[in-house]
Amino acid sequence: MVKISKNYTPKESEKYMCEKHKLYFKNKLTEWKKDLVRTNNEALYNSSLDDNSTSADIVDQASSYTEKNVEMRAINRQMKLISKIDSAIKKIHEGTYGFCEETAEPIGLKRLMARPIATLSIAAQEKHEKNEKVYADD
């Protein structure tokens, strides 16, 4: 069982995706997920307390509806993010975390530290975005 300190940072000199790296990213992803779940729960709880839909003023009702719509979209985005975090944690367990889904090349520590849910190397991501732009322009 590998242990790492709270201020451990993966190093390029270590073997890529060694047990220390996996544990570091698993901890980072787990903490991120906890924060998102807590934020979502607070938002949902506060949203249920602030119900202006029974207000007699039509402007208040419209404003409340717009705010709720924005909040629900934000929560929906966070739920998708939680799903991506779960997928990344699953990849750690499977031993495929940190490797590009298209090329199987290492994604790289710097990229993963900046975006722990990355599934593509920078080159594959740029190619993917370029293809998306080409199809969007059609």
Q: Tens digit of pLDDT for each residue in 19-75?
A: 999 999 999 999 999 999 998 888 777 766 555 556 667 877 777 778 778 888 888
Residue 119 reports pLDDT greater than 90 = yes
Model pLDDT, residue 136: 64
pLDDT band at 7 (very low <50, low <70, confident <90, very high): very high
* CATH fold of the domain at 19-137: Four Helix Bundle (Hemerythrin (Met), subunit A) (1.20.120)
Strand partners, 106: 99
Tokens 């900046």 sit at which residue? Answer: 114
Residue 107 reports pLDDT greater than 80 = yes
Model pLDDT, residue 133: 77
Q: Is the Cβ–Cβ distance between 120 and 107 less than 8 Å?
A: yes
d(CA 122, CA 57): 51
Model pLDDT, residue 87: 97
User: 46 or 95, which is more confident?
Assistant: 95
Tokens of 62: 């419209």
- pTM here? 0.78
